[in-house]
Amino acid sequence: MLLCSVANGQYPEKPVRVVVPFAAGAGADIASRFMADKLSAMWGEGVVVENMVGANSIIGAQQVARARGDGYTLLVPNDTTLAANPWLYAKLPYRPLEDFAPIALIGETPFVLVASPQFSARSVKELVDLARAEPGTINFGSSGVASAQHLPMEMLMHDAHIKLTHVPYKSASDAAIGVVGDQIQVMFAGVSAVLPFLQSGRLVPLAVSSAERLAVLPNVPTMAESGFSGFRYGAWLGFVAPGATPTPIINKINSDIDNVLRQPDTRERLVALGFLPAAPATPEAFRKHIDDETVRYGKLIRSAGIERSR
């Protein structure tokens, strides 16, 4: 009956639940809610976003992995959820490509290295010089060990041969507030999540981690321009479903997401939020992207010396 409904173009016939395993207000949450609103308008059904935070996105992912594969429960994971966590947890309670069916890549949230206005560094060079002069005295924040905010700082510390002290917070939003309040001095954060703080002057941007400067932060140099050639980092997002979800449903949602991503106002709005929208692609292309990213993160995590949790 369900496959017949999909074939007749009737999916969805009731509200769809989208689990976002990140805090409200985070970059992933902002982009997910925008996409949910677009899909709701297209489908004529509610698309309800539920934030399910905790354990480096594991709690929300585990809930969706166990959900019924009928197309009415979806997950918006990021690279940590599917590509990094397998290298970080010996007993991960889900299998990224067995328990989930990839649907579509949404795009990437570029990161920006931000500092407290009270911190003396106003460039990456000044940060590096201070860190070399006083190793371990500068604190940086993240949403947890090997989180999307932690890994780029490990990359910087490795490339610059410096040592900063990691202060994990419950969420990326909490960490950003910690930088605003000068409880910690710096962090890498998703541009979309901290854009209001940057626009109001409550955070100081030092560099962006994208290959090129961003339209929303045109005066902020890239990490490459700041002396770290080849440095690029961004957290990608996508839609996945429970692994047992029928292929016709996966293809229907993929097609609808592609249609949303092709709309000029969608791309304009995502770019304005500090988000780089993906080009429409197949579920198989997204699966290969996850495979490739898993290999990349394995190399990064091993080089950073981050141990797997037992």
Tell me the mean pLDDT in the region 159-180: 94
Question: How far is residue 250's CA from residue 307's CA, in Å, rounded to a whole number?
Answer: 35
Q: Are 106 and 237 in contact (CB under 8 A)?
A: yes
Mark whether 120 and 102 lie in a shared domain: no
| Domain boundary residue, one of 173, 208, 243 | 208
Residue 150, domain CATH: 3.40.190.10
- Assess whether 134 and 53 both reside in one domain: no
Q: Residue 51: inside a domain, yes or no?
A: yes
pLDDT in tens, 269-280: 998 888 889 999
In this prediction the pTM is: 0.83
Q: Chain-wide mean pLDDT for the chain?
A: 92
Domain shared by 103 and 115, yes or no: no
Q: Are residues 92 and 124 both part of a single domain?
A: no
CATH code of residue 270? 3.40.190.150
Count of domains for the chain: 2
pLDDT at 2 over 60: no
pLDDT in tens, 258-300: 999 999 999 999 988 888 899 999 999 999 999 999 998 898 8
Quick one: pLDDT band at residue 4, thresholds 50, 70, 90?
very low
pLDDT exceeds 60 at position 8:
no
Both 244 and 291 in a single domain? yes
Indicate the residue among 191, 208, 225 that finishes a domain. 208
Amino acid at 152: P
- When pLDDT is averaged across residues 126-132 and rounded to a whole number, the result is 98
Q: Residue 30 is part of which domain span?
A: 2-109+234-304
